């Protein structure tokens, strides 16, 4: 599987850094959902990217917990 720059950057982080990154992504997702609900969101593609980055962060967190 080809790793993107985002995935490589996330993989290099520790568990604590991944948790803070995940919290930031969840806040960003909430903000984007509110913008979409009020019809202020112009770039709907961004919501898809944030959702996938959340999944990447959660996957890496889960994998790192299994190694510990």
Taking the C-alpha atoms of residue 18 and residue 2, their distance in angstroms, rounded to an integer, is 21
Is 9 domain-assigned? no
Taking the C-alpha atoms of residue 68 and residue 27, their distance in angstroms, rounded to an integer, is 28
Specify whether the CB–CB gap between 50 and 32 falls below 8 A.
yes
| 19 or 65: which leads in pLDDT | 19
Specify whether the CB–CB gap between 54 and 25 falls below 8 A.
yes
Is 45 domain-assigned? yes
| 67 or 58: which leads in pLDDT | 58
Is 4 domain-assigned? no
Domain count, the chain: 1
Is 2 domain-assigned? no
pTM: 0.87
pLDDT tens-digit map of 2-57? 568 888 888 899 999 999 999 999 999 999 999 999 999 999 999 999 999 999 99
Domain that holds residue 59: 15-67
Is 7 domain-assigned? no
Is 29 domain-assigned? yes
Is 5 domain-assigned? no
Taking the C-alpha atoms of residue 33 and residue 19, their distance in angstroms, rounded to an integer, is 21
**Is residue 1 pLDDT above 70, yes or no?**
no
């Amino acid at each position: 599987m080809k790793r993107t720059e985002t995935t490589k950057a996330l993989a290099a982080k520790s568990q604590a850094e991944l948790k803070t990154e995940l919290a930031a992504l969840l806040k960003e997702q909430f903000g984007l959902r509110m913008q979409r609900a009020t019809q202020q969101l112009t770039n709907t593609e961004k919501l898809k990217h944030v959702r996938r980055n959340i999944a990447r962060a959660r996957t890496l967190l889960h994998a790192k917990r299994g190694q510990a």
